[in-house]
Chains A and B, each alone.
Chain A
Amino acid sequence: MAASVAKFRIIVGALALVWVAVSWYPVAAQQPTSVDPTASAVSEQQLLQQFKTIQGRGSIPDTKSYTIEQPAGRDWRHFHEVTLRWIGAVAVLGILALLVIFYLWRGMVRIESGRSGQTIVRFNAAERFVHWMTATCFVILALSGLNITFGRALLLPLMSPVAFTAWSKWAKYAHNYLSFPFTLGVILIFFMWIAGNIPNRVDIEWFRRGGGMVGHDHPPAYRFNSGQKVIYWIVVLGGSAIAVSGYLLMFPFYGTDIQTMQSAEMAHGVIAMLFIAAMLGHIYIGTIGMEGAFEAMGAGTVDVNWAKEHHNLWLEEVRAGGQPRLAQQQPAATPGE
């Protein structure tokens, strides 16, 4: 019995030795030199050339963190620091310079036949309220917005960092909260005045005659002349674009990725600068640019001679009685009725 067990063990041992000897060659062939760990790997350069961002998979809920690199941030930085500042400076300073030159050359546009003393209602209380709500919001939005682009370069050197932060913080709150009444105002303006702002043949004539800005021409116009129609559509279309891009910025990454956010900021900035330039022109003509213009929106009534010279077709319509607002005489005291 012991002898057969011993024989069995010798046979098993010999077989094991043979097995090791035989398998030496395949084992030796599996040395590291035949395996390349980087075989299917990607490189940073390759991924950057292929895609706009390098993305992978992470393990935290914030999916924005799965992007390792987004080089577009560099382009956006250049746009915001350089391009947008140039656009803003040229647009705003340019329009201011143009207005100064125009005023020095043309002066205030007078009512040529002088004031008649009779007035007529031009804008009712609701219209004036919507205009001034939108306008006030616009001015604060414009200043707080300009602070984001130009504040650090122009204002920060004049005050302490803490003071500048306090001003910028409140400017940001104002900008975010006033966006709501401003958007509401733009929507109301759209519905309120769409009827009078559809372009028609009269506008072609008005533009052909340069709006009467040169010389003493008075091209005919309905309630809103062609220049006002341009302002109207700038406010409605520009205002809508600003509102949409603004709300995307205010509610970041709600369904948008970082490229969309960067694009929204670029659109918002460029449109804002051009909007501000347009509104500076509007403010000019409504205040010092034209005699008798401000009271239209300030008091709501205008002098009849002003209406005759600048909006004669509208004056005829009103006098014909077809409009809700009737011509109003200055209240003549009726003795003892």
Chain B
Amino acid sequence: MARMKFLCDADRCIECNACVTACKNENEVPWGINRRRVVTINDGKPGERSVSMACMHCTDAPCQAVCPVNAFYTTADGVVLHSKDICIGCGYCFYACPFGAPQYPRVGNFGSRGKMDKCTYCAGGPEPDGSMAEYEKYGANRLAEGKLPMCAEMCSTKSLLAGDGEIIAEIYKERVAKRGYGSGAWGWNTAYRETITS
């Protein structure tokens, strides 16, 4: 069984934000919510690195652990999804998430939160695959159609890889060996408790 993961090659990312735009468009993400974002470290200085970050779909997901109403579930592919019908918008998943993946539309009382939204690995939610209800709540379900997430598909430099963890780790290792350098798979130690040693 495949274990789906994301890998962002920080040495290749050119901060074009194609992944951000692709995700927004494919999932009709509402205004103000950013499932995926690109963050640049040392912007403008030598050694500038950009990383594309969304939900990493962690092993033993912290968001799943702290949710007071048990709104999260992990699929057989290792994708961490949640139910917006069960979510009460308490905000605890954001405190626990090391990557800041949960987003809130700020429509709750006192304008604070509302039902949580996050990257779904383009795998939808608990509603039936491909249904209108699923699309309205969670966005596209590409995984059910056998496709990979739109962000990785649209990446202009193929720095953002998505797919089975072993396969993309292998791709990354080959890259690093061929070009002679690599800053590592950002977030992998925190999310999956593994590092890619090249």
Contact = CB atoms under 8 A, between A and B. Distances in A.
Contacts of A251: 110, 112
Interface residues of A, number: 56
A70 B100 contact: yes
B43 A176 contact: no
Interface string B35-46: 001111111011
Contact of B70 (A40, A42, A64, A152): A152
A74 B62 CA distance: 7
Interface in B1-56: 11, 17, 32, 34, 37-43, 45-47, 49-51, 53
A38 B53 CA distance: 21
A58 interface: yes
A42 B186 CA distance: 11
Instruction: Tell which of A58, A66, A74, A164 has the most Cβ of chain B within 10 Å.
Output: A58
Contacts of A250: 110, 112
B99 A68 contact: yes
Contacts, number: 153
B170 to A, nearest CB: 20
B132 interface: no
Most buried by A among B37, B39, B184: B39
Contact of B96 (A66, A68, A76, A148): A76
B184 A44 contact: yes
Nearest to B98: A73
A161 B66 contact: no
A173 B99 CA distance: 28
Given A37-B181, A58-B37, A81 B65 contact: yes
A148 B39 CA distance: 33
Q: How large is the interface on B (under 10, 10 to 19, 20 to 34, 35 or more residues)?
A: 35 or more
Contacts of A38: 11, 47, 181, 183
A162 interface: yes
A258 interface: yes
Interface in A38-58: 38-45, 47, 54-58
Contacts of B163: none
A65 B39 contact: yes
A41 B49 contact: yes
A151 interface: yes
Contacts of B92: 80, 148, 265
Interface stretch (B83-91, B134-142, B153-161): B83-91
23 contacts: A39-B46, A40-B46, A41-B11, A41-B49, A42-B42, A56-B39, A56-B51, A57-B39, A59-B38, A65-B100, A71-B190, A73-B96, A74-B96, A74-B98, A77-B62, A148-B68, A148-B92, A152-B70, A165-B86, A168-B88, A172-B90, A251-B110, A252-B113
Interface of B: 11, 17, 32, 34, 37-43, 45-47, 49-51, 53, 62, 65-71, 85-92, 94-100, 109-110, 112-113, 181, 183-184, 186-187, 189-190
Given A161-B70, A176-B110, 4 more contacts: A43-B184, A44-B184, A69-B190, A265-B92
